[in-house]
Amino acid sequence: MCGIAGLVGLDQAVASPRVAEALRRLVHRGPDGEGRHESPQAVLGMRRLAIIDLVTGDQPIYNEDRSVAVVCNGELYNYIEQFSELERRGHSLQSGSDVNLIPHLYEELGGDAFTPIRGMFAAAIWDERRHRLTLARDRVGKKPLFYAQVGDGLAFASELPALLALLDRIPPYSSAALADYLRLGF
């Protein structure tokens, strides 16, 4: 179990300490390490529970020219067969981590990058050239991913306490939504 968090569209001086606090709140999800991507438009972070590629699998994972950054919580089941296809098509893979698929598939397929992936995941892709964030989850929604608008930006995290660390203020709760949750259980 890993955890991801990030803020895009806010000044890096504001976003960086908020993401640091969000990652602190996710330590229990990933005690083996922490990684961050920081640029003027985006700060992405992750807490890692090292399972695959213990030595070189730290995140964020990048494409060859580091214009695409990825953080991911989960496991991609078909990564080995996808690796050979990517290498055959000329990609240079950063590590043996399953997450290494994502930036290269994004380069080729854009928003459809997750179509060939089988697994359980929640991921964030930051495209530095286009200043575009892509958030994705597996088809079943096994791994959690929460998000909220923050001014002109967007915050995301694997858990609500981490998401709250990214916000300007604690939002008011909706009594109707709370009643629905208690009645329906979701």
From the list 47, 79, 50, 77, the residue with the least C-alpha distance to 60 is: 47
Give catalytic status of residue 2 as yes or no: yes
The residue assigned the tokens 């286009």 is 130
CB 34 within 8 A of CB 23: yes
Out of 2, 10, 19, 86, which one is annotated catalytic?
2
Nearest-angstrom CA–CA distance, 159 and 25: 9
The catalytic site residues sit at: 2
